[in-house]
Amino acid sequence: MEKSKVLIIGGTGYLGKRLVKASLAEGHETYVLQREDMGVDIQKVQMLLSFKEEGAHLVLGSFNDHRSLVEAVRLVDVVICAISGVHIRSHQILLQLKLVDAINEAGNVKRFLPSEFGTDPAKMENAMEPGRVTFDDKMVVRKAIEDAGIPFTYVSANCFAGYFLGGLCQPGSVLPSMDHVVLLGDGNQKALLGDNNKKAIYVDEDDIAMYTIKTIDDPRTLNKTLYLRPPQNILSQREVVEVWEKLIGKQLRKSSISKEEFLATMKTQNYAEQVGLTHYYHVCYEGCLANFEIGDEGEEASQLYPEIHYTSVHEYMKRYL
């Protein structure tokens, strides 16, 4: 089967650059949207030029120019959007409504993968303020996609390993301590995350990109959600800490923070920080990533694509030694 042509929007971002590389590695004719108004952002310019050297096509386009989006979309079969949905950097999820309009007008796209790649927003209808804005906005985009009859795949990638494993699941930290860790819960052996030893799911960002590219031509995931749940990487915070302790050959000093203390501290932060901390709360104290079974509306990536040798938590954390 001929491989789809792919347009990646947000291709110079944290995940986007990995999606470009994975698409090229899998042999897809790959297009990357390039803004005309890049100014003197030399790092992004050089990244785009490196993509071009590797075989990608750069296509000018902007969310502020509807016609440019339509023309870009008409070049490809699949559109993947990886613009930021993180408030501490920039929250742009609803910009995708313009992309939905362009895809709808172009009429040629076989599949659209919007910017999701985290917690499944369809499972977060009871999320707390202010963090629920992320999930609500993603559901607005989903509704627009489905109302327009655009074929889709939603990717629920759970926790980006770099953000969670690097800091031993502690908000605000991306490098593991050699001395001390704060456990999100009461800190005893049986109740680490919240009160029930909740598990989270950690996925290497390069693996997220590869699973995403694998799915774009797969009829099994058409109009479904692809959940990334690599079995070895479904761990509690204590289990993550234990992996690190084995690697460094010593026990860390441990303290803990109850959910009441966590919420009280969260309310003292600015809005953007509160949004992110709300997500941590749902992941760590409620176990929102692994507390449901995948139904008929979804598929699990490691089962569909066993040929991908995903990076285990143990392997991932070796880089910090």
Q: H/E element holding 154? A: strand 153-156
109 neighbors 153 (Cβ within 8 angstroms):
no
Work out the number of other CB atoms within 10 angstroms of the CB of residue 275.
22
Residue 89 has what pLDDT?
58
Nearest to 310 by CA among 209, 238, 203, 237: 203
Instruction: Give the phi and the psi of residue 283 in degrees, each rounded to 5.
Output: -70, -45
- Please, which pLDDT band fits residue 90 given cuts at 50, 70 and 90? low
**pTM, rounded to two decimals:** 0.94
Q: How confident is the model at residue 175 (pLDDT cuts 50, 70, 90)?
A: very high
For the stretch 104-134, pLDDT in tens is 999 999 999 999 999 999 999 999 999 999 9
Please count the CA atoms within 13 angstroms of the CA of 192 that sit on its side-chain side. 22
Q: String of b and e for 75-98 (b: at least 16 CB within 10 Å)?
A: bbbbbbbbbbbbbeeebbbebbbe
List active site positions. 138
Contact between 81 and 9 under an 8 Å Cβ cutoff? The reply is yes
- Distance, in Å, from the CA atom of 159 to the CA atom of 169, rounded to the nearest integer, reads 10
Strand partners, 57: 31
From CA 173, how far away is CA 171, in angstroms rounded? 6
Asked if residues 201 and 228 have their Cβ atoms less than 8 Å apart, the reply is yes
Q: How confident is the model at residue 87 (pLDDT cuts 50, 70, 90)?
A: low
Pairwise CA distance, residues 225 & 295, whole Å:
10
Per residue in 239-294, pLDDT (tens digit) is 999 999 999 999 999 999 999 999 999 999 999 899 999 999 999 999 999 999 99
Q: Is the pLDDT of residue 188 over 90?
A: no
Measured between its terminal Cα atoms, the distance across the chain in Å is 43
DSSP 153: E
Nearest-angstrom CA–CA distance, 83 and 298 = 23
The residue among 119, 115, 120, 149 whose CA lies nearest residue 222 is: 149
- Whether residue 269 contacts residue 239, with contact meaning beta carbons closer than 8 Å, is answered with no
Q: What is the pLDDT of residues 26-66, one digit of tens each?
A: 999 999 999 988 778 899 999 999 999 999 999 999 999 99
